[in-house]
Amino acid sequence: MEVAGFKSSDYLVESAAVSTLLKTIRKGEACDLRLGGPVDARVEAFTSANQMLAGVVVDPPRGRGKDLTQEALDQALKGANIVRGFLKDSLEALTGDELRQQLRETQVPIGMIVAYGEPARDGTDAWLEPLIETIVDRRPQVDESGNVNFLELGDFPHVEAGEALVKRHPATEGKAGWTVTGRIIKGRNGKNIVLKPKNDSVKLAPGDDNLLVAATNGMPVVFSKGAYVEKVLRFEQVGLETGHIRFDGSVQIKGNVEPGMKIDVLGDVKVGGLVEAAHILAGGAIDIGGGVIGRRQFQEEHHHGTPRPGVRGSGARKEDKVEGPINDAYLKAGTQIKARFVQDATLESGQEIIVQKQIFHSQVTAGTRILLPGRGAIVGGVARAKEIIDVGVSGAMANVATTLIAGETEGIKTRIVAVNDELKQIASQRQQLMAIVEQFVKQHKPITSEKKQKFLEARESLHQKEHVLYEELAELKAAFQQCQSARIQVRFTCYPGTLVRLGGHEFSPRKDLGNVTFVLHDGDILMR
C-alpha cells in the first residue's frame, strides 16, 4: 500500500478479504474483490422488550471513513420507530467531537441509552383511617410494680354521639404512560369505597361525605367498609378470654361469669347462666338467668355498706370498683336485680330485688322492695328494703338467724337533725351579715361598690345553700313518712330465728307464723 502511494492508516486492508484473495489465487481463479478502504461510522438503534428504553450502538469509522452524522443517527432512530422520551444530552454527545475522537482512537464500539419511556402510574385505592380506639387495642395491663394482670385488659372503647369514627381517603385516578415508540399505556384507577351508614347508629358528617360519625353512644366497631356503634356488648361468657369488662353501655352474656371477674357498665347487664364469685356493677338493671354464688358467709354488716337512708342508690360508680383479687359475689344495680337464686353474696339495688327461689346467707339491700314469689325463701343473712319485703318463707326449721329490715329511720332522723342544724347556722350567718350592713348605715359610712358586691355575693351564697337544704329536708321527711308505711310480708312460714325490724323497732317470733304481714302502728310492730 505504501509503495502504491496509499497510507495504510487511511486505507485499511481487511484481513478477511486478504485471506479470501489468497485462497482464490491458490485455486488459480480470477476474482473481483475489495481488499479494504475507508469505512464510515455505523449506528444501530434498539429498544427493550417492553419498549420503555431505547439505545444505540455506534461502530467507529475506519481509515478515512466519515464520523457519525446527525442524519445517520436520526435515520437509525426512525428505523427503530423511536419517537419519544429522547435524552437530549445523550443525542448531542453521540455526534460531538469528544466521542468521535474516542471512537477513532480506541476503535471500540460504544453503546448509549438515548430515550426512556414514561411508566403508567396506578391510582391508589381508597382506604379508611380509624379515628378512634377499637376493641383490638385491648391488651393486658402492667401495674406500677411491673406485674402483668391478664384479666385487666383496659376499658372497652366508647364514643359519644357526634364523635368522628372513620375518615375515608378517596381513591385517586391512574396516570397514563407511554413507550419510546409512542404507544400509550393506561394507568389503573384506584378502587373506591362506598362510605355509607350501615345502620342508624352512624351517619355521614354534615358537608363531608368522607367522614363517618356516631349517631348514638356506644362501642365503635370498624370494618372494611366503614364503622357502626354497638349499644350492647355480647359475649358467650366472661372469663380469662374477655378479661374484666368496663363499658359505658349494656352487656349481654349468653353463658356464665367466671370466678374473679369484674363487670362495670353504665347500662344493663344480662347473664344467661351463673355468676360465681364475681363483681357486677350496673347503672341500670342486672338480670341473672341462673344464680349468684359467692364463696364465703357474711355477717350482718358487710364491707360494701348500704345506700344512705332516704336516698335511692345510683347504680355503678367508679368509686365502687374493688381493686385486687375477688373472692366474693357482689352485685350493684341502679334500678333492679333479678336472679333465680342467691347464695353467700351481696346485692344492692337502687329500686328492687326479685329472686325466684332462695336467698341463702346473703346481704341484700333494695331501694324500694325485695320480692321472692311463690315459696321463695330468705334463709340467713340480712335483707333490707326501704318499703316492702315480700317473701314466701323466712328462716328455716333450724332457727337460722335471718334478719328482715324495712323502713329504717335512724339514718333519716340523724340527717334531719343535721340539716336543721345547718339551717340554723345559715340563719345565724344571715343575721350577722345584716348586722354589719346596719352598722354601716347607722354610722353613715359609705359602702364601696366592692364591699356591696361582696355583701350581695355572700347573701346569694347563703340563699342557695338554704334552698338546697330545704329541698333535702323535704325529701327526708317524705322518706320518713314512706318508712312509716313500710311492711314485711311472709306469705307461708316465718320461722323462729327471724328478726323483723321496722322503723327501728324489732320483733322475733317464738313459734312458726304463717301468712303474716308486719306493719308499724303508733310506734309498734303489728301483725296482720
**522 has pLDDT over 80:** no
Give the whole-number percent of the chain exceeding pLDDT 90.
Answer: 50
Given 198, 230, 262, which residue is the final one in a domain?
230
d(CA 200, CA 192): 23
Give burial (CB, 10 Å; 0-12/13-18/19+) of 100.
middle
At residue 183, the pLDDT reads 95
pLDDT band at 443; cut points 50, 70, 90: confident
At residue 8, the pLDDT reads 55
Between 108 and 17, name the one with better pLDDT: 108
Please provide the average confidence, as pLDDT, over all residues in the chain.
84
Clarify whether residues 66 and 140 are in a common domain.
no
At residue 143, the pLDDT reads 55
Q: Does the residue 477 lie in any domain? A: yes
Clarify whether residues 300 and 399 are in a common domain.
yes
Clarify whether residues 102 and 198 are in a common domain.
no
Clarify whether residues 276 and 327 are in a common domain.
yes
Clarify whether residues 415 and 453 are in a common domain.
yes
| Spatial contact of 330 and 304, defined as CB atoms under 8 Å apart | yes
Query: 257 forms bridges with which residues in the sheet?
Result: 238, 275
Q: What value does the mean pLDDT take over residues 124-141? A: 72
**303 has pLDDT over 70:** no
Between 313 and 39, name the one with better pLDDT: 39
At residue 471, the pLDDT reads 92
Q: Does the residue 20 lie in any domain? A: no
Clarify whether residues 498 and 370 are in a common domain.
yes
Q: What value does the mean pLDDT take over residues 217-243? A: 84
| Spatial contact of 169 and 208, defined as CB atoms under 8 Å apart | no
Which of 99-103, 134-138, 265-269, 487-491 is least confident? 134-138
Q: Does the residue 15 lie in any domain? A: no
At residue 310, the pLDDT reads 35
d(CA 104, CA 254): 91
Residue type (1 letter), 178: W
**500 has pLDDT over 90:** yes
At residue 321, the pLDDT reads 46
d(CA 14, CA 12): 6
At residue 309, the pLDDT reads 34
H or E, element range at 203: strand 202-205
**381 has pLDDT over 90:** yes
Q: Find the helix packing angle between 410-442 and 449-484, rounded to 10°.
A: 160
pLDDT band at 54; cut points 50, 70, 90: very high
Q: What is the DSSP letter of 320?
A: G
Question: What's the structural domain count of the chain?
Answer: 4
At residue 307, the pLDDT reads 39
Clarify whether residues 83 and 50 are in a common domain.
yes
Q: Does the residue 17 lie in any domain? A: no
Between 241 and 352, name the one with better pLDDT: 352
At residue 247, the pLDDT reads 83
Given 59, 82, 116, which residue is the final one in a domain?
116
At residue 11, the pLDDT reads 59
Q: Does the residue 204 lie in any domain? A: yes
**325 has pLDDT over 60:** no
Domain region containing 134: 127-230
pLDDT band at 34; cut points 50, 70, 90: low
Q: Does the residue 323 lie in any domain? A: yes
Q: What value does the mean pLDDT take over residues 296-309? A: 42
At residue 372, the pLDDT reads 95
Q: What value does the mean pLDDT take over residues 302-309? A: 38
At residue 211, the pLDDT reads 94
The dihedrals phi and psi of 204, each to the nearest 5 degrees, come to -75, 145
Clarify whether residues 337 and 306 are in a common domain.
yes
**94 has pLDDT over 50:** yes
Give the whole-number percent of the chain exceeding pLDDT 70.
Answer: 85
d(CA 460, CA 185): 81
**154 has pLDDT over 60:** no
Q: What value does the mean pLDDT take over residues 69-94? A: 94
Clarify whether residues 343 and 243 are in a common domain.
yes
* Neighbour-count burial for 329-348, b at 16+ CB within 10 Å, e otherwise: bbbbbbbbbbbebbbbbbbb
What grid cell was written down for 364?
341484700
| Spatial contact of 277 and 383, defined as CB atoms under 8 Å apart | no
Query: Helix or strand or coil: residue 506?
Result: strand
pLDDT digits (tens, 9 = 90+) for 194-210: 888 888 889 999 999 99
At residue 508, the pLDDT reads 92
| Spatial contact of 403 and 370, defined as CB atoms under 8 Å apart | no
Q: What value does the mean pLDDT take over residues 407-424? A: 86
Given 215, 230, 245, which residue is the final one in a domain?
230
Clarify whether residues 103 and 135 are in a common domain.
no
Which of 62-66, 124-128, 419-423, 514-518 is least confident? 62-66
**308 has pLDDT over 50:** no
Q: What is the DSSP letter of 135?
A: G
Q: What value does the mean pLDDT take over residues 466-493? A: 86
Q: Does the residue 521 lie in any domain? A: yes
At residue 9, the pLDDT reads 56
pLDDT digits (tens, 9 = 90+) for 249-302: 888 999 999 998 999 988 889 999 999 999 999 999 999 999 999 976 444 443
Clarify whether residues 380 and 252 are in a common domain.
yes
pLDDT band at 52; cut points 50, 70, 90: very high
d(CA 259, CA 239): 8
pLDDT band at 191; cut points 50, 70, 90: very high
Q: Does the residue 148 lie in any domain? A: yes
At residue 454, the pLDDT reads 85
Give burial (CB, 10 Å; 0-12/13-18/19+) of 156.
buried
Clarify whether residues 474 and 491 are in a common domain.
no
